[in-house]
Amino acid sequence: MTATSAPAPLDPVIVDIERRWKESGIPGLYDGGDGPVSRERARNIRALLYPKPKLAQGVIESRSIPGSGGEIEVRIVRPLEGEPIGTLVYLHGGGWVVGDLDSHEAHAIRLANHAGVVVLNVAYRLAPEHPFPAAYDDTTAAVDWAHANLASLGGAGKPLALGGDSAGGNLAAAAALYCRDAGIALKAQLLLYPATHLGRNMSEPERAYLGDQASVLALDPRASPLMAATLAGVAPVIFGVGVYDFLYQDNLAYIAALRAAGVPVLFREYGNLNHGFFSYTAISSVCEAAANQLCEDLRSQLQA
């Protein structure tokens, strides 16, 4: 499907999620709530409407790593079978306000098993308690740590990649610019419906993340990777987005900018999916197939 063709109908499972959420009377994740309220609401919604898939898992190790704002909690998720082919630093979604290691552990397990990587799943600091650039700083600290510790992760001499969904995709894309400038070799970026220009979609989570100077900070490429002076030289990108995603146009603009800068992009556009589909794999075979395809894409890129 091209960006100009008509989309297929939205996956009926997702339509049902939206209907049941509306009928439940539960507000939107960020409506009228502070960080703790939104996080509790997110946990309840996930349990009610899209529970985590039950996946066979390899060894998972919880530990902390150093960061400029204190210790950063991480989980190291290993493949169920076989030797890893590399390391993936993964940043969870949740609008920089919600989400945690538990909410996205299944993402990490799927990526570990299907892509054959050791996943460093990162619990970066959340807004509004920790506004920008706290999450970005934790992300780059995690990348630095992973780069220095590849031997104990996916293996010394094996490739390093960055990935994330939604707000986590934003952090991954911003950190890829950091890696380029710091001389840290990345083999791939896995960007799942990331926010790339925060000034274009300035809603509750963006304002919580950026704080009182949101309109100014949205121009900072650490917050909005699309605002970088150049994207040339960043790692190749695997990009997944549904045409019903509210970030779809944002994502098309970022893909165009990457390609204009000479960055290789594998673009997976799903005509019947919306935002967050990687979280719906337990209830939607369409979402599961898309998620598995993107994992296999990452494997292929790391082995290229």
**Which residues are identified as catalytic?**
166, 245, 275
Q: Exposed (0-12), middle (13-18) or buried (19+): which is 32, by Cβ within 10 Å?
A: exposed
Q: Determine the Cα–Cα distance for residues 224 and 283; give it in Å rounded to an integer.
A: 32
| Angle of CA points 17, 135, 165, to nearest 5° | 35
* 168 Cβ neighbours under 8 A, 6+ residues apart: 90, 91, 92, 93, 94, 99, 104, 192, 194
Residue 26 CA, distance from chain mean position: 25
CA trace torsion 110, 195, 233, 236 (10° rounding): 30
Omega before residue 128 within 30° of 0, cis: yes
Helix (H) or strand (E) holding 138: helix 134-148
- What is residue 7's DSSP assignment? P
CA dist 231 and 173 (Å) reads: 10
The CA distance from 257 to 251, in Å, is 10
